[in-house]
A and B are shown apart, each in its own frame.
Chain A
């Protein structure tokens, strides 16, 4: 396709009015900014636009023939829904050129409220496969801000397969973890990166240690900042970027100054214009390249755009970190639990607690022995499949069929799961897998992203559950999931007790809650051990993970185990496993009837112990009379667990 000046949009970040004028003056085609509410940059009170200023900014941008996008990329709690409706109404009146959204609820709200402003899917939606894109297009999304883990080649493929407009971060600060799937800040500090309040645990210093011995393994340590991504800079690869079919080049930095933004916009503007005027005659402008480099914050990298960058994308020394937002802390232990006063629930479904159905207990397991152990000890549902963390092997079709027949013996259900991140390889495998399910006959499937939900709905005819990765925070999201084929959903691990109680009351879907197990703080396409020990990316990979288990040790002495799956993704676990056993009475009083144990990082024996403990307590509670919690079982649990036990987001009254 021939290039025209309209083929590419240069999109600049704006935090204040000064920056708005500067970005437009420097030649931005479009700008994006947030209001005072519901956006991803809420730490700074002096940035972002109030309602009146937003309206003026739209007028100002339009008067200069510049498009203006408003970020509404935040998860919405139940209590915030009325505020979000009001805000959408206002935005529809002032008519910016798009709303950049995150929560699936916004899709539903926008449809219900006849919002005429086009919708763009924020990078926080973690959109990385064509089925997700199609699911979003069904709701009027006209553009996606693509995952930062996608390469230009993958972007071209997505563009060809869906025809959607693609926006990509080309310059600035990056996350090392998959966007919208990082729970570290939210669970530890009660300030969620999915709600604009990230305190950046990825910028903490860490040691890489052998999980078994606890000893440091990096002989020639490159430096302690093992997760500190360098800044993205696509300037040197601009021709490839333009030819990839990405239409909007996004500069990161809504808290940056006018000088900073204007400098970057000018440099990219000149390069884009020169390239489009004469692509074959284009050369890199060394002076401009020098300028970008001279005024850089961190060192620069093309990140994933040209392939997995491995160690080259990490600033190990921390020398160029502009500032820090927190230091590592000891995660909240079970002892730190605040006492939860059971909420008052207006019971509509089960007026008498004694008459309620037996609480469901689901257990996710990694191997056939663990499955047996869970079923023997009272699990009513077992989740199997999806990511296989080394040294476990993926479940074969034969294993799965055997698991289903075993569960049938216990009148229990087997639900097969699919990976959280599904790019082309995983999608290709999933299509084939779904086709094979007729012979396996599982009782259901659990999916982890909107693309897999759509694929499952279209190709198989068994109940579909959605996993925690959908970041379910409010009942409109549950309604969206239901409308798109889900029959059960999982609550976000960042939600606190108060928030869960409110959500369960209003949800149109049965909701499951994770109450025990190893919880993933981050999921990375970056392989930490390979990068630290060998300076490589996933390719070439010397399979370090087949010999040893690795962990990251932080300055508070907390050990974060790295679980590596069959796709080489690194799943960084919290130092403490979640344990809400003492809180079951409060959860039952909030009408939660579906409980889950994440047992895939446990031995079969431990899976059995935990399943039995939860089964016993839940049955005692369901029986209804004079429940007392046997505190000695906490000691047994603590002694048997590979990590110490904590309470996750339940440390907080409200997750912010």
Chain B
């Protein structure tokens, strides 16, 4: 949790002065309950700041095309602010007519997704916390986890703009450290032929974010295991399902940081001036069962730092 925020203090004082508790109307636009930890963090943060709110929670249950309609519904409930989880939810929220401020997370590329003009000065009605773990941190993590790895294959879906962004970031950060092999996938079924694509000298697979690869991870893990290849993923649920490890943002923490920005907005600050936050304390996830199968010894330093080690 960041230190005491002046806006929090201001809110608490305001509420106390009034002698009544002001009940805020806050909309939450959720893409999938997979991201509900962010909602929990967000609510906890607001409560901690002394704010009371009536939350209007709408969840599209994965159906991206339902989001505009759900955003409209929130607008009709005259919410003061929308907390939008995921890029499509944030896009649906800022496309509403009117001036309802939007706080988003874990959006990977707020500028590319046209939610903000820049990270420092959003310039519109939205701000939030970007969920992408910096590529340099991932490179360091891989080096620590697999010290002898030299050649890394990057497996990504070409139709996913977030994946493309992360691929480019990762290449920039890793090209001097590893030999990188591009493994693009145009459609999910291409994963069926993955072994034909894997060069023999590969030491590990790196999976950037991206829904198609994340969903069909079982098939990637299947082939990787057969080729004795460790997988470093960017999607936390892939770790218990067979990746060796991941360095990921903690969604609860993202929600918590978003609550600070929301409190500022409720206290009167314009979102256009509130910088977009970055993931500052990514957490380490490891899978000891996979490590044993691959004959890899997990470094003690990483085990000590890991947020979770799956057996």
- The answer to whether A329 touches B59 (Cβ under 8 A) is no
A residues in contact with B275, CB < 8 Å: none
- Contact partner of A329 (CB less than 8 A), chosen from B34, B61, B215, B219, is B219
- Contact partner of B34 (CB less than 8 A), chosen from A46, A259, A324, is A46
* Contact string against A for B residues 176-197, beta-carbon threshold 8 Å, 1 for contact and 0 otherwise: 0000000000001101110100
Please tell me if A555 contacts chain B, counting CB pairs below 8 Å: yes
Given contacts A326-B216, A326-B218, contact A259 B58 (CB under 8 A): yes
Please tell me if B10 contacts chain A, counting CB pairs below 8 Å: no
Given contacts A46-B37, A332-B226, contact A327 B188 (CB under 8 A): yes
- Contact partner of B59 (CB less than 8 A), chosen from A259, A323, A326, is A259
Q: Considering only CB atoms, which chain B residue lies closest to A554 in the complex?
A: B192
- The answer to whether A46 touches B192 (Cβ under 8 A) is no
Please tell me if A218 contacts chain B, counting CB pairs below 8 Å: no
Given contacts A16-B33, A46-B33, A336-B226, contact A325 B240 (CB under 8 A): no
* Contact string against A for B residues 189-216, beta-carbon threshold 8 Å, 1 for contact and 0 otherwise: 1011101000000000000000000011
Q: Considering only CB atoms, which chain A residue lies closest to B194 in the complex?
A: A329
Complex CA distance for A112 and B218, rounded to whole angstroms? 39
Complex CA distance for A554 and B193, rounded to whole angstroms? 11
- The answer to whether B188 touches A323 (Cβ under 8 A) is no
Complex CA distance for A328 and B36, rounded to whole angstroms? 30
Please tell me if B148 contacts chain A, counting CB pairs below 8 Å: no
Nearest Cβ on chain B to A258's Cβ, whole angstroms: 8
Q: Considering only CB atoms, which chain A residue lies closest to B214 in the complex?
A: A323
Nearest Cβ on chain A to B29's Cβ, whole angstroms: 12
- Contact partner of A322 (CB less than 8 A), chosen from B62, B216, B222, is B62
* CB < 8 Å A-B pair total: 67
Complex CA distance for A129 and B218, rounded to whole angstroms? 36
- The answer to whether B36 touches A46 (Cβ under 8 A) is yes
- Contact partner of B33 (CB less than 8 A), chosen from A257, A332, A555, is A257
- The answer to whether B218 touches A205 (Cβ under 8 A) is no
Nearest Cβ on chain B to A499's Cβ, whole angstroms: 15
Number of contacting residues on B, CB 8 A?
A: 26
Please tell me if A393 contacts chain B, counting CB pairs below 8 Å: no
- The answer to whether A327 touches B59 (Cβ under 8 A) is no
Complex CA distance for A29 and B295, rounded to whole angstroms? 51
Nearest Cβ on chain A to B51's Cβ, whole angstroms: 21
Main SS class of interface, B: helix
A residues in contact with B192, CB < 8 Å: 327-330, 554-557
Please tell me if A256 contacts chain B, counting CB pairs below 8 Å: yes
Please tell me if A111 contacts chain B, counting CB pairs below 8 Å: no
- The answer to whether B226 touches A323 (Cβ under 8 A) is no
- The answer to whether B63 touches A326 (Cβ under 8 A) is no
A residues in contact with B134, CB < 8 Å: none
- The answer to whether B215 touches A323 (Cβ under 8 A) is yes
- The answer to whether A327 touches B33 (Cβ under 8 A) is no
A residues in contact with B216, CB < 8 Å: 324-327
A residues in contact with B193, CB < 8 Å: 555-557
* Contact string against A for B residues 281-311, beta-carbon threshold 8 Å, 1 for contact and 0 otherwise: 0000000000001000000000000000000
Please tell me if A106 contacts chain B, counting CB pairs below 8 Å: no
Complex CA distance for A557 and B59, rounded to whole angstroms? 38
Please tell me if A459 contacts chain B, counting CB pairs below 8 Å: no
- The answer to whether B188 touches A257 (Cβ under 8 A) is no
B residues in contact with A325, CB < 8 Å: 215-216, 218
Please tell me if B141 contacts chain A, counting CB pairs below 8 Å: no
B residues in contact with A329, CB < 8 Å: 192, 219, 222-223
Please tell me if B50 contacts chain A, counting CB pairs below 8 Å: no
A residues in contact with B189, CB < 8 Å: 205, 327-328, 555
Complex CA distance for A554 and B189, rounded to whole angstroms? 9
Given contacts A327-B189, A328-B192, A329-B192, contact A199 B240 (CB under 8 A): no
A residues in contact with B34, CB < 8 Å: 44, 46
- The answer to whether A323 touches B62 (Cβ under 8 A) is yes
A residues in contact with B277, CB < 8 Å: none
Please tell me if A62 contacts chain B, counting CB pairs below 8 Å: no
Please tell me if A191 contacts chain B, counting CB pairs below 8 Å: yes
A residues in contact with B58, CB < 8 Å: 259
Q: Considering only CB atoms, which chain A residue lies closest to B240 in the complex?
A: A45
Please tell me if A548 contacts chain B, counting CB pairs below 8 Å: no
Complex CA distance for A336 and B226, rounded to whole angstroms? 7
Complex CA distance for A323 and B214, rounded to whole angstroms? 11
Q: Considering only CB atoms, which chain A residue lies closest to B62 in the complex?
A: A322
B residues in contact with A205, CB < 8 Å: 189
Complex CA distance for A653 and B241, rounded to whole angstroms? 15
Please tell me if B123 contacts chain A, counting CB pairs below 8 Å: no
Please tell me if B237 contacts chain A, counting CB pairs below 8 Å: yes
Complex CA distance for A113 and B48, rounded to whole angstroms? 47
- The answer to whether B61 touches A256 (Cβ under 8 A) is yes
Complex CA distance for A336 and B223, rounded to whole angstroms? 11
Q: Considering only CB atoms, which chain B residue lies closest to A336 in the complex?
A: B226
A residues in contact with B62, CB < 8 Å: 322-323
Q: Considering only CB atoms, which chain B residue lies closest to A651 in the complex?
A: B226
- The answer to whether A327 touches B61 (Cβ under 8 A) is no
Complex CA distance for A628 and B198, rounded to whole angstroms? 35
B residues in contact with A555, CB < 8 Å: 189, 192-193
Q: Considering only CB atoms, which chain B residue lies closest to A255 in the complex?
A: B33
Please tell me if A289 contacts chain B, counting CB pairs below 8 Å: no
* Contact string against B for A residues 582-624, beta-carbon threshold 8 Å, 1 for contact and 0 otherwise: 0000000000000000000000000000000000000000000
Complex CA distance for A191 and B221, rounded to whole angstroms? 12
Complex CA distance for A653 and B295, rounded to whole angstroms? 14
Please tell me if A183 contacts chain B, counting CB pairs below 8 Å: no
* Contact string against B for A residues 188-212, beta-carbon threshold 8 Å, 1 for contact and 0 otherwise: 1101000000010000010000000
Nearest Cβ on chain A to B223's Cβ, whole angstroms: 7
Q: Considering only CB atoms, which chain A residue lies closest to B211 in the complex?
A: A323
B residues in contact with A256, CB < 8 Å: 61
Complex CA distance for A252 and B130, rounded to whole angstroms? 35
B interface list, Cβ under 8 A from A: 33-34, 36-37, 58-59, 61-63, 188-189, 191-193, 195, 215-216, 218-219, 222-223, 226, 237, 240-241, 293
* 5 shortest interchain CB distances as A-B pairs: A556-B192, A555-B189, A555-B192, A326-B218, A327-B219
Taking A324-B215, A329-B192, A556-B193 as known contacts, 15 extra A-B pairs with beta carbons closer than 8 A to each other, sorted by chain A number, are A188-B222, A255-B33, A257-B59, A259-B59, A260-B61, A324-B188, A325-B215, A326-B216, A326-B218, A327-B191, A328-B192, A330-B192, A554-B192, A555-B189, A557-B193
